Amino acid sequence: MESNLDYIYNELRETKTELLTYLNYGDRDVRILKYIKDELRDIEAALEKVDNGEYGKCELSGEYLPYDFLQTIPTARSASELNQMEQYYRKPIYS
């Protein structure tokens, strides 16, 4: 699990750097500025959780979220976010 956490941590740090670069040097499209700032806050919160040993725990239940889900959405905070994402998964045509 440690190498998995290292991978996610590095991805979060890289994304944070990219967002900060956009905010500091990009064209700052006001239509997406709010979303960029929101994502940056989420990333900073996730990085803080990694530092505190709390990363990957559901904020509601305290149980660990599935690694595959965290790899896809590393800023996830709760299992309810996983449930919301499941509605967008493709359903098989044949059962």
- 0.85 cut: is pTM over it? no
Spell out the residues 6+ positions from residue 29 whose beta carbon is closer than 8 angstroms to its own: none
Distance CA 89, CA 80 (A): 15
Give me the tens of pLDDT residue by residue for the chain, a chain 95 residues long: 578 889 999 999 999 999 999 999 877 788 889 999 999 999 999 999 999 999 999 999 999 999 888 988 899 999 888 777 766 666 666 65
Question: Is 89 exposed, middle or buried, given 0-12, 13-18 or 19+ CB atoms closer than 10 A?
Answer: exposed
Domain assignments of the chain as residue spans, ordered by start:
2-86
Closest residue by Cα to residue 38 from 70, 77, 91, 94: 77
Domain 2-86 has CATH 1.20.120.910: yes
